Amino acid sequence: MAERMVFEDRDRFLEALRRRVREGLPGERIRVITPFGVPEVEEILSPGRSNVRFFALVGAACGTAAGFALTILTSLSWPLIVGGKPVVSFPPFIIIAFALTILFGALSTFAGFLLLSRLPSLRGIRSEEEHGNAFVILVEDGERR
């Protein structure tokens, strides 16, 4: 690790970060640790929008498909007319598909977050290193991990 800067103040930290990027340091080599989410960091380092959103989309779409597949296929596997309703009754099936859309979407978004943020991280759990409420800029020699 080439360089490490620690700040107590949010604004001074952002200023230093901006300066480093302006000086031509590629965003990939900078790692930042903050005590809470600082939206400006994303603007300065511009790593692109988080891909968690694709997990949300795919999960939700799978949920809708699973909801309709479960209701329609199970109804067709024993086509019994109940209460004079058609065997494949869409209106009630929409409720199941809706619930599964939300369920699969939320779980898949969470899984996507864990995957992309590389959590749970055994190294993070074992490490005793603490930064407290400090804002830290780490500049690495090569590509960041």
Partner 1 sequence: MENAEKYAKVDRDILAAMEKPGRLYLAGLAVAAALTVIGGILWAHQIRTGLGVAGYTHPVNWAIYITNFVFWVGIAHSGTLISAVLFLFRARYRTSFNRAAEAMTVFALMVAGMFPLIHLGRSWVFYYLIPYPTQRQLWVNFRSPLIWDVFAVGTYFTVSVVFFYVGMLPDFAIARRCKEGIRKKIYTVLSLGWKGTDREWRHYGMLYLFLAAFATPLVASVHSVVSWDFAMSIVPGWHTTLFAPYFVAGAIFSGTAMVITLVIPLRKAMHLHDYITDDHFESIAKILLFTSLIVSYAYIVEFGMASYGENIFEMEAFRYRALGEFRYLTWAMIFCNSLVPLTLFARRLRRNTAYLLVVSLLVNVGMWLERFVIIVTSLAHDFDPYVWGTYRPTYVEVGISLGSFGLFFMLYLLFVKNLPVLSITEIKEHL
Residue 112 binds partner 1 (CB under 8 A): yes
Residue 78 binds partner 1 (CB under 8 A): yes
Residue 79 binds partner 1 (CB under 8 A): no
Partners of residue 3 on adjacent β-strands: 139
Residue 5 binds partner 1 (CB under 8 A): no
User: Hey, what amino acid is at 89?
Assistant: S
Phi then psi dihedrals of residue 139, to 5 deg: -110, 120
Question: Please, what is the minimum distance in Å from the beta carbon of residue 4 to partner 1?
Answer: 14
Nearest residue to 35 (alpha-carbon basis) of 123, 135, 121, 145: 135
Choice from 62, 89, 139, 140 touching partner 1 (CB under 8 A): 89
Residue 14 binds partner 1 (CB under 8 A): no
* Beta carbons of 58 and 66 less than 8 angstroms apart: no
**What is d(CA 145, CA 130) in angstroms, rounded to the nearest whole number?**
19
Tokens at 35, concatenated:
């005590």
For 128, the 3-state DSSP assignment is coil
- Distance, first Cα to last Cα, the chain: 12
Total interface residues for partner 1 by CB under 8 A = 66
Of the pair 2, 27, the CB lying nearest partner 1 is at 27
Of the pair 37, 142, the CB lying nearest partner 1 is at 37
Q: Which residues bind partner 1 (CB under 8 A)?
A: 8-10, 31-39, 41-42, 45, 47, 49-50, 52-53, 56, 60, 70-71, 74-75, 77-78, 82-83, 85, 89, 92-93, 95-96, 98-100, 102-103, 105-107, 109-110, 112-114, 116-127, 130-134
